[in-house]
Amino acid sequence: MRPLISVARRPTPDSRLVAAAEIVRGHLGPRLLSISYQAGDILCLEVDRSDLLATATFLRDAPELRFDFLSCVSGVDMVSHMLVVYHLHSLSNRLTAQLKVKADAREPVVDSVSAIWPTANWHEREAFDMLGIQFNGHPNLERLLLVEGFVGYPLRRNYQLPRRRWPHGRMVEEGGPVDERS
Amino acid sequence: MSEAEILPGQTEDGSLPSVFTEEFSLNLGPQHPSTHGVLRLLVRLSGEIVVDCKPYLGYLHRGVEKILENRTYMQGIRYVDQFDYVSGMLNEHSYVGAVERLMQLEVPRRAEYLRVVVDELSRICSHLVAIGTALLDLGAWTPITYCFRDREEILDLFEELCGSRLNFNYHRVGGVLFDLPEGWVAKCLSFLARFERSLDELEEFVNGNELFIARLVGVGVITPEMGIAYGISGPSIRGSGVNFDIRTYRPYSVYTELGFEPQLATAGDCFARYLVRMAEMRESVRMVRRALEGLPEGPVRARMPHYLLPPKGETYFSIESSKGELGVYLISDGTANPYRVKVRPPSFVNLQILPELVKGQKVADIVAILGSIDVVMGEVDR
Amino acid sequence: MLGVFQGLKITIKHFFSPKVTRMYPYEKRVLPERSRGLIQLITEPETGVLKCEACLLCEKVCPPRAITIRYEERNAFRWRPLARPKSKAAYYRPREVAAYPYEGPRPLSPMVLAPVSEADGDDAWLDGLLEEQGDLVGALRAIQERYGHLPRRVLMKLARNLGVSVSELFSSASLSPDLRLDPISDGFVAGATNGDSSALVLPGPQALQAVERQPNPSQGGGASGAE
Amino acid sequence: MTEFVQQVLSDPTVQRVLWLIVTLLWSLLFLLTSVLILIWGERKVLGFVQDRYGPHHTGKWGLLQSPVDALKMMTKEDVVPLLADRVVFWLAPIAFFAPVLAAFVVLPFSDVLVGADLNIGLIYPLALGSIGVVAIIAAGWCSNSKYSLLGAFRSAAQMISYEIPMVLSLVPVLLLSNSLSLQSIIRQQEGIWFILVLPFAFLTFFICGLAETNRAPFDFPETESELVAGFMTEYSGMRWAMFYLGEYGNMIVVSALAATLFLGGWQGPLLPGIVWFIGKVYVFLFIFLWVRATLPRVRVDQLMDFAWKWLIPATLLNIAVVATLALVFPSGYLIPIGIANWLLSGGFVWSLTRYMQGRVEKSKRLAAAWAPMGTAEVPGKIVVAAGEGVLARRS
């Protein structure tokens, strides 16, 4: 369908971001699956699951990069695979980066970065809570927002909201997770 | 002495220590007057000192991220409004900004100026609630009523502008909903003048007061390294001297034109965070005044199709909400509904440091520290 | 202690300053013109005709799906000529206004009811119904068999025949469990959206539909693996 | 018949018994009416300070608020916890309220109207005050709940550690009036009220009075944040009202003492003595309410620090100064003592302010060591130096 809105031409990334990209490409080389710029001011990287920890420590400790502020860890269910996205800020160099890691769709397992950035603790617990992503090495991976006995992972694409039907005027809920506590 | 007979606290040779103390756990919340909303803290005490503190969340979890996936972009604004219910406008700006960034959309300048005006007024509302409730938890009954009296005037201004006092629904993709009604600017400017006088009075009331200094100074100190490691943002980290304010770190909207200056304090304790919030309110007043004076003419909203279909793709857009960096990671698959909306709520991240800060402090300090971190549970539980 | 005395100075100043309380029940605030408080059905000021034309947009756009509009065809008097021949002008069936017992001018409330349209369906059989069945519940059961539920229109005509208020019919109908006042509906089905995105490896619509039917690994069948 | 009655009445012991009954009735009347006024007054003062009206719908200016509260108190169910020690549970409120009523006997309402002008008039109410502590611990212990026990021990510790500076702060008054009976103290203040001569004693006495009655900055037993309602948690209905009555009664006793010792009791130019006395008591009650509306609560350990490290040394110093000056100037010792006392109170206030400022400076010095972090497009503006306190200049 023709986009109704005139999409401005893709803005050129600013020089410091390009320099940072060179450093990352130089260090990671083949392990870097893809590199791109998002709207000119976010450096998007994708790395394989196995060398996530190595990349993370490099991004935090490299003197030119120093991505010491982990802003957000988000889990996304892409049905064919599960995606874990880390957004990082570098307070000293004023840079923003996005690190993507793919994981298996049904049993996603990813290494936990809470050792590198302590703030990841609750982010990862919430990702586990909502999408069932296992984080190896996480101090206490348990449900954070949902009730202990909750069954099922709501933000997964195949999570079926309970269907409501009104046979003979009384509401009946079918499908949806079976709450083992009741 | 067999294993079973050794009492807790008893030494090996069986003699009881002179003072026989035992830790006991205390439940603060979830229905508790001084936790801001439904937050439950399981605190283990040994006498006055807090040994361990475990927050329990989720009492206000509404599953908004799942709901947003089943709503069109336009309908989603209403839900984003309810994250931080004391500063509604700022939440909307983040969601709407994310969609505009995805569509690389040029927002008319008048709309940007109106957004700054409305956001800064909303920030003042949030800070007034934060300071009022923090001081109320310490036992001071009067400041909160002065804060809420001023907040009422802002809510009246919002009601004239967009019709409601809590769920504003004022931002739209591509601009804002209404233009200013006539006479609004004059009312707003007179309010700002009155507000600065009452800010001076509040500062006079609290800054010098020895009891406030005794309860707030040196309590809950966040060092810059610890703050950055725990991802603290907003006034809580600026209280420790870290210059991290999204309005200057990743400038959005017209803040650079209006000459915004981030406010920092150095001590990093509860009192420094209170001072940063007071200074930020003064800065917001300056921002609103400059924006209203320099309000350009022009449309209030870009020409948008009724049925909004943003292009496929993903974007991460964050603004400086009153509690810190409010980020929205948006993935759109070209249909009318967003494929995934992950919100980075500042209160959720700032709350993570509470157990760290509270260990070793006194019981009465838990409420002081929680008040200074300024947590809203609607944003924590989403 | 100087700060404490300063604080006391401020509070005593406020003790004598004018108060801001607004005595709510006695002094009410004039709401600004744009205030979106109560959702109301508004009528044309001069003619009192309802402005709502049952375009059902509000029902479609309401995010929490809180609004449901039931509308009936209405071909009574209209000021504006019909843009389309068959207009969907509507009136909103209020609860008990039909049973308005008092003669004389009716209060013109926004929930005004236009007269019950007579010419719809062959209701002649209603007239002799009561004599056949002998009692009211039998009559109601007969209506139930015919329509599958007790349509309001029929109940009001029956009330008019019996010269009794509709609320009595409602109460007697709601007493017996098998009589149904609402039509049988198949309920609300929530489904996930579909769509794909080239930049991301997004699932195609078919893939999503296929996925919907498989149960969540930890859902339905037995204890979940991940626990 | 009549001369028999006169003969009985003339008997001194009968007269004294009748007089005691009159004082009992009079002090009950005064206590209950002023408690009623206080219940309404507290909410009104709190309201007016906060730019609002306070209770308004019960009666003309909310005047029926206290009778309504009293009625509510009576009709509320009187819950006794299951495992509570029933006898002590029943006895504790009485033990808390009785000393307050007993203290009224010695208060000089006017030169004639005083229960019994004891020659140990000053020590008697202070001694009764400490019986209240026993009642609090009893209440905390017998309601068999974790919160009330904790609250009770905290209140007990507070009251004990503030009783000492309270008594010490009254010694200079004795030095000047060299008599313990309240009537004579008032008569001593014929020319000049003691508040002008001994402001420092008044300041410390009033602070300790606040702490004695668990009011204003020292009311943490009732903090809602940690202990639900201190030792009164398990009480409800009339029993809770007794504690409430006791607390207000304590307030009245302390204000009455302050009025007699420092503002010259029933002395005053035009109006009769009793009006002056009641007026002065209500001035102090207003100050109690005013301070409660303004100041935040103090932490437990800070409270103890303040008592032991600040008040007790200060009062001892005051005694020493007043005593030496009284010896050095045997005849006209009022003026030097007055000057010394004003200097002392000024010094105390100033040093407390400086001490607090010092803590603010210390926290800033600690922070100076941190390296500046985070660069944004615009360098951050350091907010006014963190809290220079009341001396702060607004930049």
Q: What is the pLDDT of residues B210-265, one digit of tens each?
A: 999 999 998 999 999 899 999 999 999 998 888 899 998 888 889 989 988 888 88
Q: What is the pLDDT of residue B7?
A: 57
Separation of alpha carbons B289 and B294, rounded Å: 9
Give the angle subtended at the CA of D359 by the CAs of D358 and D360, to the nearest 5°: 90
* A158 interaction partners in chain C (CB closer than 8 Å): 211-212, 214-216
Q: What is the pLDDT of residue C112?
A: 28
Percent pLDDT > 70 in chain B is 92
* Number of domains comprising chain D: 1
Q: What is the pLDDT of residue B120?
A: 96
Say if D152 falls within a structural domain.
Answer: yes
Say if B22 falls within a structural domain.
Answer: no
Which alpha helices (H) appear in chain D, and where do they start and end?
2-10, 12-49, 65-75, 86-103, 123-142, 146-177, 182-188, 194-197, 199-212, 237-262, 273-294, 300-305, 312-328, 334-368
Q: What is the pLDDT of residue C220?
A: 40
Tell me whether residues A165 and C224 touch, CB distance under 8 A. Answer: no
Tell me whether residues B327 and A76 touch, CB distance under 8 A. Answer: no
Tell me whether residues A134 and C223 touch, CB distance under 8 A. Answer: no
Q: Specify the higher pLDDT residue, D34 or D380.
A: D34
Separation of alpha carbons D237 and D243, rounded Å: 10
Say if B318 falls within a structural domain.
Answer: yes
| Nearest CA distance, A63 vs chain C (angstrom) | 32
| Nearest CA distance, B200 vs chain A (angstrom) | 33
Say if D189 falls within a structural domain.
Answer: yes
Residue among D127, D118, D199 nearest D163 (CA) = D127
Q: How confident is the model at residue C211 (pLDDT cuts 50, 70, 90)?
A: low
Q: How confident is the model at residue B14 (pLDDT cuts 50, 70, 90)?
A: low
Q: How confident is the model at residue D269 (pLDDT cuts 50, 70, 90)?
A: confident
Q: What is the pLDDT of residues D182-205, one digit of tens each?
A: 888 888 888 888 888 899 999 999
Residue among C197, C188, C187, C192 nearest C209 (CA) = C192
Contact D223, B139 (CB under 8 A): yes
Instruction: Judge whether B217 is closer than 8 Å to chain A, CB to CB.
Output: no
D296 → chain C, closest CA residue: C4
Q: Which of D223, D359, D378 sits opposite B248 (nearest CB)?
A: D378
Say if D267 falls within a structural domain.
Answer: yes
What mean pLDDT do residues A151-162 have? Answer: 78
- CB-count exposure of residue B149 (10 Å: 0-12, 13-18, 19+): middle
Say if D356 falls within a structural domain.
Answer: no
Contact B181, B162 (CB under 8 A): no
Q: What is the pLDDT of residue A1?
A: 32
Separation of alpha carbons A52 and A100, rounded Å: 9
Tell me whether residues B340 and A76 touch, CB distance under 8 A. Answer: yes
Instruction: Identify the chains in contact with C, defined as 3+ C-beta pairs within 8 A.
Output: A, B, D
Tell me whether residues B181 and C32 touch, CB distance under 8 A. Answer: yes
Interface of D with B in 134-153 (CB under 8 A): 146
Separation of alpha carbons B362 and C195, rounded Å: 54
* C36 interaction partners in chain B (CB closer than 8 Å): 163-164
Q: What is the pLDDT of residue D178?
A: 82
Q: How confident is the model at residue D371 (pLDDT cuts 50, 70, 90)?
A: low
Q: Hey, how many other C-beta atoms are within 10 angstroms of the C-beta on B220?
A: 27
Interface of A with D in 92-121 (CB under 8 A): 92-94
Is the confidence at residue C193, as pLDDT, over 50? no
- The top-scoring range by mean pLDDT among B185-189, B264-268, C171-175, D6-10 is B185-189
Q: What is the pLDDT of residues D51-87, one digit of tens each?
A: 998 888 888 888 888 888 888 888 888 888 888 888 8
Q: What is the pLDDT of residue A148?
A: 77
End-to-end Cα separation, chain C, in angstroms: 59
Q: What is the pLDDT of residues A35-57, one digit of tens each?
A: 888 877 889 999 999 999 999 99
The ipTM, to two decimals, is: 0.86
The mean predicted confidence, pLDDT, of chain C is 64
Say if B202 falls within a structural domain.
Answer: yes
Instruction: Judge whether D61 is closer than 8 Å to chain C, CB to CB.
Output: no
Q: What is the pLDDT of residue A10?
A: 58
Say if D372 falls within a structural domain.
Answer: no
| Nearest CA distance, A94 vs chain B (angstrom) | 7
Say if B17 falls within a structural domain.
Answer: no
Q: Hey, how many other C-beta atoms are within 10 angstroms of the C-beta on A140?
A: 7
Q: How confident is the model at residue A5 (pLDDT cuts 50, 70, 90)?
A: very low
| Nearest CA distance, C22 vs chain A (angstrom) | 41
End-to-end Cα separation, chain A, in angstroms: 48
Tell me whether residues D377 and A94 touch, CB distance under 8 A. Answer: yes
**Which residue, chain included where needed, has tokens 């950055």?**
B228
**Which residue, chain included where needed, has tokens 């969907």?**
C88
Q: What is the pLDDT of residue C144?
A: 81
Q: What is the pLDDT of residue B176?
A: 92
- The top-scoring range by mean pLDDT among A165-174, B16-25, D1-10, D257-266 is D257-266
Chain C with chain D: Cβ pairs closer than 8 A: 49
Q: Which of A91, A93, A94 sits opposite D373 (nearest CB)?
A: A91
Domain that holds residue B247: 27-381
Find the range with the poorest average confidence among A58-62, B35-39, B255-259, D207-211: B35-39
| Nearest CA distance, B138 vs chain D (angstrom) | 6
- CB-count exposure of residue B378 (10 Å: 0-12, 13-18, 19+): buried
Q: Which of B139, B242, B260 sits opposite D223 (nearest CB)?
A: B139
DSSP letter string, chain C: -HHHHHHHHHHHHHHHSPP----TTTSPPPPPTT---S----B-TTT--B------HHHHH-TT-----------S--SSPPSSSS--------SSGGG----SPPP--TT--PPPPS-SS--HHHHTHHHHH-SHHHHHHHHHHHHSS--HHHHHHHHHHHTS-HHHHHHHHHHSTT--SS-----B---------TTTTPPPHHHHHHHHHSPPTTSSSSS-S--
Q: What is the pLDDT of residue A3?
A: 38
Spacing of C-alpha B214 from chain mean position = 25
Residue among D305, D347, C10 nearest B209 (CA) = C10
Instruction: Judge whether B178 is closer than 8 Å to chain A, CB to CB.
Output: no
Say if B170 falls within a structural domain.
Answer: yes
* Number of domains comprising chain B: 1
What mean pLDDT do residues C81-97 have? Answer: 44
Q: What is the pLDDT of residue C102?
A: 44
Say if B182 falls within a structural domain.
Answer: yes
Say if B349 falls within a structural domain.
Answer: yes
For residue B106, give the CATH number of its domain. Answer: 1.10.645.10
Domain that holds residue D217: 20-328
Q: How confident is the model at residue D390 (pLDDT cuts 50, 70, 90)?
A: very low
Say if B374 falls within a structural domain.
Answer: yes
Q: How confident is the model at residue D114 (pLDDT cuts 50, 70, 90)?
A: confident
What mean pLDDT do residues B368-380 have? Answer: 91
The whole-model pTM stands at 0.82
- The top-scoring range by mean pLDDT among A9-18, C129-138, D16-25 is D16-25
Instruction: Judge whether A160 is closer than 8 Å to chain C, CB to CB.
Output: yes
Tell me whether residues D380 and B211 touch, CB distance under 8 A. Answer: no
Q: What is the pLDDT of residue B49?
A: 86
